[in-house]
């Protein structure tokens, strides 16, 4: 074996991180070895006091300049609005949750009060699902993705279905990006403990409410209707299953208001490997479609025949739009007449439209006076003949509904009328009810809760072997931890690992188990590089360095060398 000549060690480039805030939530950018990676991509709803109108929902999406994006939760609608093609690493359940969430938001036409900051706004109808799908790389728990100078491992956060945290293997150190964390008995696949050196904790929202899970259960038994605005693809599943188990003998009716519930049911029952072991073994269908004392409807305006102690789940958007639109049903009533005129409808057509409104009213238990009011609105719709504002509204509706024909558009408008109709909507909102805020929403509510489903920072610290924690919230940090602010660039000081270059000359062969390696050139423990590459064919494949070993994912081989001998093994 020729002599090995040791050169000076090479300086290691330390990772630099930065949090960027959208509105209430942030994403993390990391520069590592001339590679920029991003964790999460939130897009948040713009405007206040949403109500029925003729505009699509707008969302705020920050531009990004990353080469790779890792998504940990369903708070990442930004992936549908990217201008560049960037690989997106995400679990399949989270991706399906995002698609459902987007479809749900696209089903609204609204008006709203503007906010001060109007930058980085996009219509939900600008989303490009097809482009996003081309960039998606589906990952699973405990899967490692290899790159030139680091590896990323996806691990369960033990919170919601498919939600992840990510461990970066950089040299001989483990850095983790954490957005949610729990050690409770949750629906998700249970995580395994591991020792980390650094945790980057992206958690801005800290609940400080006095009401806990016991209070929540007690209030749910009160003799009034409880309306719970909630994220249907995450927190809803946890509370819904909790209430099904704890109120089984109380005969409390639950109403689920969501146009995507059937799809959520399909995701849960079709994702067994993502569930906690208890759900996989003990239940054939973790979330049955037909459940005693549980009813479903598409919107709050359709909720009827509720018992006084019923619990109603809905999205925050559905609650806001319906609650803020009471007495505004005539707004869309005008649109019916304009659509009829636009398509040359006769008086008979107008009568047919009034009949359609009557049928919908009767189906939903509307009173005779309510029917008369609805008919009056439909008749009054033909009064305004030449309003330019109406033309703009119709154009917006046609754009939002895409290729829908005239009858579909009119049906959509009727549903919107019913959503804002005084007689109909107040059938729910005139009754004794309370609003329960379990998500930390910025909204008026009767009760706010910290349900204590997530674990604390001290619990996370113990679980991961007392790492240094870098956080954008500052909550629960110790003296050696680091609190960073948005847009502040922070360099993580990972201990240096020396790189050495080994010069090898006039070597025709070297032993490597049962194999021979033929080369003449240089080998660095950072990267294999030969001036005249006569290595075996395997070294022409893509390979990655980790902990002094070279991994060839295409061949499922790993290579390392000890003194003067190379070793090759399967992995």
pLDDT (tens digit per residue) in 411-426: 665 556 555 554 555 5
Share of the chain above pLDDT 90, in %: 22
Q: What digits encode the pLDDT tens for the residues 516-543? A: 343 434 444 334 433 333 344 555 556 6
Distance (Å, whole) CA 373 – CA 354: 11
Contact, 104 vs 315, CB < 8 A?
yes
Same domain, 147 and 277: no
177 CB-near residues (< 8 Å, 6+ apart)? 28, 39, 70, 72, 165, 166, 168, 200, 202
Query: Do 144 and 226 fall into the same domain?
Result: no
Which has the closest alpha carbon to 335: 424, 414, 425?
414
Distance CA 285, CA 387 (A): 54
Rounded CA-CA distance 199/469 in Å is: 5
The string of DSSP codes covering 468-516 is: EEEESS-TT--TT-EE--TT--EE--PPP----EEEE-S---EEETTEE
Task: Clarify whether residues 290 and 316 are in a common domain.
Answer: yes
Residue 401 DSSP one-character state: T
For 197-208, write each residue's pLDDT tens digit: 999 999 865 555
Count CB neighbours of 302 within 10 A.
19
Beta strands in 507-570 (DSSP E): 510-512, 515-517, 520-524, 528-532, 544-546, 549-552, 557-562, 565-570
Closest CA to 287 of 161, 184, 191: 161
Q: What is the pLDDT of residues 79-91, one digit of tens each?
A: 999 999 999 999 9
d(CA 569, CA 333): 73
Measured distance CA(375)–CA(384) in Å, rounded: 17
Is the Cβ–Cβ distance between 481 and 470 less than 8 Å? yes
Same-domain pairing of 515 and 552: yes
State how far the Cα of 50 lies from the Cα of 113, in Å rounded to an integer: 7
Domain shared by 130 and 170, yes or no: yes
Q: What is the C-alpha to C-alpha distance for residues 44 and 48, in angstroms, rounded to an integer?
A: 12
Question: How much is the pTM?
Answer: 0.71
Same domain flag for 44 and 109: yes
**Do 438 and 463 share a structural domain?**
no
Considering the domain boundaries, does residue 242 fall inside one?
yes
Measured between alpha carbons, how far is 365 from 371 in angstroms, rounded to an integer? 10
- Domain containing 243 equals 213-325+427-448
Q: Which among 545, 544, 570, 541 is positioned nearest to 558, based on CA atoms?
A: 570
Distance, CA of 98 to CA of 104 (rounded, Å): 10
Say yes or no: 198 and 58 in one domain.
yes
What are 200-244's pLDDT values in tens digits? 999 865 555 567 788 888 888 888 889 999 998 888 888 888 888
Q: Which whole-number Å values give the CA distances from 62 to 67, 85, 90, 121, 396, in the listed order? A: 16, 16, 19, 8, 25
Q: What is the pLDDT of residues 451-488, one digit of tens each?
A: 777 888 888 899 999 999 998 887 778 888 888 888 77
Mean pLDDT, range 358-377, rounded to an integer: 39
Q: Cα-Cα-Cα-Cα dihedral of 402, 405, 408, 414, to 10°?
A: 90
Residues 243, 238: Cα–Cα separation, whole Å? 9
The domain that holds 102 is classified in CATH as: 3.60.15.10
CATH code of the domain in which 283 resides? 3.40.50.10890
**Residue 496, in any domain of the structure:** no
Judgement on whether residues 479 and 533 belong to the same structural domain of the protein:
no
Other C-beta atoms lying within 10 Å of the C-beta of residue 351: 14
Beta strands of 25-83 (E only): which ranges? 26-32, 35-39, 43-45, 48-55, 58-61, 68-70
Q: What is the mean pLDDT of residues 489-509?
A: 48
Same-domain pairing of 78 and 161: yes
User: What pLDDT does residue 557 have?
Assistant: 72
Q: Is residue 556 part of a domain?
A: yes
Task: Note whether residue 108 is domain-resident.
Answer: yes
Burial 476-485 (b: 16+ CB within 10 A, else e): bbeeebeebe
Do both 267 and 182 map to the same domain?
Answer: no
Q: Is residue 353 part of a domain?
A: yes
- Indicate if 282 and 431 belong to the same structural domain: yes
Q: With 60 as the cut, is the pLDDT of residue 2 above it?
A: no
β pairing state of 121-123 and 58-61: antiparallel
Kindly state the percentage of the chain with pLDDT values over 70: 61
Determine the pLDDT at residue 210: 62
Gap between the terminal Cα atoms of the chain: 28
Q: How many CA atoms, within 13 angstroms, populate the side-chain half-sphere of residue 355?
A: 6
Q: How far apart are CA 367 and CA 330, in angstroms?
A: 18
Q: What is the pLDDT of residue 125?
A: 92
Q: Could you tell me the two tokens for 550?
A: 């070279």
Domain-located, residue 10: no
Cα angle at 152 between 149 and 156, to 5 degrees? 170
Mean pLDDT of the chain: 72
Domain count, the chain: 4
Other C-beta atoms lying within 10 Å of the C-beta of residue 472: 19
Question: Is 288 within the bounds of a domain?
Answer: yes
Domain assignment present for residue 5? The answer is no
Bridge partners, 168 (sequence order): 152, 175
pLDDT in tens, 17-55: 889 988 888 999 998 877 889 999 999 999 999 988 878
Residue scoring higher pLDDT (143 or 514) = 143
Average pLDDT over residues 504-509: 38
- pLDDT tens for 312-353 read 999 999 888 888 876 555 555 555 555 555 555 444 444 444
């Amino acid at each position: 074996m020729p002599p090995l000549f040791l050169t000076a060690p090479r300086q290691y480039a330390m990772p630099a991180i930065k949090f960027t805030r959208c509105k209430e939530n942030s994403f993390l950018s990391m520069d590592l070895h001339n590679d920029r990676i991003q964790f999460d991509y939130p897009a948040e709803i713009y405007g206040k006091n949403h109500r029925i109108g003729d505009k699509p929902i707008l969302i705020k999406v920050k531009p990004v300049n990353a080469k790779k994006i890792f998504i940990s939760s369903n708070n990442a609608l930004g992936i549908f609005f990217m201008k560049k093609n960037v690989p997106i690493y995400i679990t399949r359940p989270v991706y399906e949750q995002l698609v459902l969430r987007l479809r749900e938001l696209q089903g609204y036409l609204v008006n709203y009060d503007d906010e001060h900051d109007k930058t980085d706004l996009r219509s939900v109808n600008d989303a490009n699902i097809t482009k996003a799908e081309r960039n998606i790389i589906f990952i699973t728990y405990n899967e490692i993705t290899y790159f030139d100078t680091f590896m990323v491992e996806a691990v369960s956060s033990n919170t919601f279905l498919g939600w992840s945290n990510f461990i970066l293997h950089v040299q001989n150190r483990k850095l983790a990006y954490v957005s949610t964390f729990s050690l409770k008995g949750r629906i998700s696949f249970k995580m395994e403990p591991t020792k980390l050196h650094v945790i980057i904790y992206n958690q801005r929202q800290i609940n400080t409410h006095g009401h806990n899970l016991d209070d929540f259960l007690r209030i749910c038994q009160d003799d009034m209707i409880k309306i719970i605005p909630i994220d249907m693809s995450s927190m809803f599943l946890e509370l819904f299953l909790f209430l099904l188990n704890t109120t089984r003998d109380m005969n409390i009716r639950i109403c689920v208001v969501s146009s995507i519930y059937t799809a959520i049911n399909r995701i849960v029952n079709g994702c067994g490997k993502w569930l906690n072991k208890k759900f996989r073994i003990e239940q054939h269908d973790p979330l049955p479609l037909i459940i005693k004392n549980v009813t479903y409807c598409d919107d709050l305006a359709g909720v009827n025949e509720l018992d006084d102690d019923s619990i109603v789940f809905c999205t925050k958007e559905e609650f806001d739009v319906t609650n803020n639109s009471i007495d505004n049903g005539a707004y869309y009533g005008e649109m019916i007449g304009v659509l009829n005129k636009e398509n040359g409808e006769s008086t008979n057509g107008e009568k047919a439209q009034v009949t359609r409104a009557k049928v919908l009213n009767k189906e939903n238990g509307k009173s005779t006076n309510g029917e008369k009011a609805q008919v009056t609105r439909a008749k009054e719709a033909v009064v305004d003949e030449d309003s330019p504002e109406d033309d703009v509204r119709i154009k917006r509706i046609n754009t939002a509904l895409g290729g829908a024909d005239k009858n579909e558009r009119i049906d959509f408008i009727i549903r919107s009328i019913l959503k804002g109709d005084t007689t109909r909507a107040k059938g729910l909102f005139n009754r004794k009810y309370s609003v329960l805020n379990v998500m930390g929403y910025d909204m008026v509510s009767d009760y706010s809760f910290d349900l204590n489903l997530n674990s604390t920072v001290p619990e996370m610290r113990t679980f991961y072997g007392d790492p240094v924690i870098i956080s954008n919230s500052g909550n629960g940090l110790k003296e050696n931890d680091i609190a960073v602010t948005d847009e502040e660039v922070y360099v993580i000081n990972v201990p240096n690992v020396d790189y050495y270059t080994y010069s090898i000359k006039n070597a025709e062969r070297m032993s490597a188990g049962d194999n021979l390696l033929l080369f003449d050139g240089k080998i660095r423990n950072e990267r294999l590089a030969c001036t005249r590459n006569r290595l075996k064919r395997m070294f022409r494949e893509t390979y990655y360095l980790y902990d002094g070993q070279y991994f060839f994912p295409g061949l499922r081989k790993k290579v390392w060398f000890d003194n003067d001998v190379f070793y090759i093994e399967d992995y």
